């Protein structure tokens, strides 16, 4: 099978096209003929050596959609099923065939293309885990979402709206109309020194929940927009831990994925409440260019690789 692989973990430039033997599924695994693979900052992190214990050669790609080709014993997936899956942390998505653990596989949303579905797996999955499963966002609550135009943020804004929440989004001005189109009620520019005061002017008591995808300075500022006793969730795991005060409770988490969360995403997509946002689709041959685009940290929605037709 054709793959994009790295023979050493020396950044994006170490990715090249190559051939590897077709894998075959062991018990509990599903072999997927990949039609779309999401590209994320995590792929850049793997290629920079940010995750220890990675076997070489390494095939990036932690989220895919495609057609189940074969299933090992005990896997509740039929060959021919249209599926999407997380491959974290083994990777392998940047190739024509990928192995997934069956408990990380679910049918794709009926209304989504393979490329759209692939781009939902980690980003929308993380947004759902943060807002719904951990944040327990309720109808009528206010939520502040930073990095709101990105892969996670674009899904988070829509999932929060679907929960009945009022959404405040943070992004550059060029993305403000985009965020309103996704359902954000108010939008703020993190480049403005007083953006938290602007948010406080709109929600004087402070927001109930923060989902931070920005990290660093924007994260620290955003905590100031949370109400006393509010909740905060952090997904950028690098850097110093967030300092919480005023009775705010919070956690940093690494998303877990799983079949049930993918099924929940499929229901939202097929109900028209979560529209996949794909900025650009690249062929496998341009995996390096796709990774470079993501590394720039200003993509709107997702960058996805397409394999096959």
Ligand X SMILES: NC(=O)c1ccc[n+]([C@@H]2O[C@H](COP(=O)([O-])OP(=O)(O)OC[C@H]3O[C@@H](n4cnc5c(N)ncnc54)[C@H](OP(=O)(O)O)[C@@H]3O)[C@@H](O)[C@H]2O)c1
Place of tokens 């990777």: 91
CA distance 141 to 266: 24
As given in the structure block, the two tokens for residue 47 are 């290629």
Phi, psi of 55 (to 5 degrees): -80, 145
Residue 148 · residue 277 · CB < 8 Å: no
Query: In terms of CB distance, is 288 or 298 closer to ligand X?
Result: 298
Among 172, 197, 249, 260, binds ligand X (CB under 6 A): 172
Please, which residue, 64 or 214, has the CB nearer to ligand X?
214
Largest CA distance in the chain: 59
3-state SS assignment for residue 175: helix
Binding mask 102-131 for ligand X (x = CB under 6 A): --------------------xx--x-----
Q: Are 59 and 17 in contact (CB under 8 A)?
A: no
Closest CB to ligand X among 51 and 253? 253
Indicate the residue among 43 and 81 with the shorter CB distance to ligand X: 43
- Site mask for ligand X (CB under 6 A), range 206-245, x = bound: -------xxx--x----------------xxx--------
CA 103 – CA 72 distance, rounded (Å): 12
Q: Which of 80, 51, 34 lies closest to 284 in space, CA to CA?
A: 34
> What number of chain residues touch ligand X (CB under 6 A)?
31
Out of 65, 137, 143, 149, the only residue in the binding site for ligand X (CB under 6 A) is: 149
Q: Is 190 in the site for ligand X (CB under 6 A)?
A: yes
Cα–Cα–Cα angle for 109, 66, 297, nearest 5°? 80
Which of 97, 155 has the CB closer to ligand X? 155
- Report helix, strand or coil for 142: strand
Q: Does 148 bind ligand X (CB under 6 A)?
A: yes
The answer to whether 175 contacts ligand X (rule: CB under 6 A) is: yes
Cβ proximity to ligand X, 97 vs 304, nearer residue: 304
Q: Which residues bind ligand X (CB under 6 A)?
A: 40-42, 122-123, 126, 146-153, 171-172, 175, 190, 213-215, 218, 235-237, 253-255, 297-299
């Amino acid at each position: 099978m054709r793959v994009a692989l790295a023979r050493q973990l020396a950044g994006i430039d170490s990715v090249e096209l190559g051939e590897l033997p077709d894998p075959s599924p062991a018990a509990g695994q599903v072999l997927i003929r990949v039609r779309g693979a999401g590209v994320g900052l995590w792929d850049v992190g793997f290629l920079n050596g940010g995750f220890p214990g990675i076997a070489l050669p390494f095939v990036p790609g932690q989220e895919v959609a495609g057609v189940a080709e074969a299933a090992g014993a005990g896997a509740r997936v039929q060959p021919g099923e249209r599926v999407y899956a997380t491959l974290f942390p083994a990777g392998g998505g940047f190739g024509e065939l990928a192995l997934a653990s069956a408990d990380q596989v679910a049918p794709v949303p009926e209304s989504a293309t393979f490329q759209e579905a692939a781009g939902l797996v980690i980003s929308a999955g993380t947004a759902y885990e943060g807002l719904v499963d951990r944040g327990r966002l309720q109808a009528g609550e206010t939520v502040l979402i930073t990095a709101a135009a990105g892969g996670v943020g674009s899904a988070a804004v829509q999932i929060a709206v679907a929960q009945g929440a009022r959404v405040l989004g943070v992004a550059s001005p060029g993305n403000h109309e985009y965020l309103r189109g996704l359902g954000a009620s108010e939008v703020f520019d993190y480049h403005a020194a007083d953006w938290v005061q602007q948010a406080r002017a709109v929600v004087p008591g402070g927001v109930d929940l923060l989902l931070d995808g920005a990290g660093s300075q924007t994260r620290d500022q955003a905590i100031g927009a949370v109400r006393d006793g509010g909740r905060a969730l952090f997904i950028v795991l690098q850097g110093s831990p967030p300092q919480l005060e005023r009775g705010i409770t919070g956690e940093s988490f690494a998303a877990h994925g799983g079949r049930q969360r993918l099924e929940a995403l499929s229901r939202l997509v097929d109900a028209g409440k979560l529209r996949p946002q794909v900025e650009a689709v690249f062929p496998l041959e341009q995996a390096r260019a796709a990774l470079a685009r993501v590394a720039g940290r200003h993509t709107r929605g997702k960058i996805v690789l397409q394999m096959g037709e």
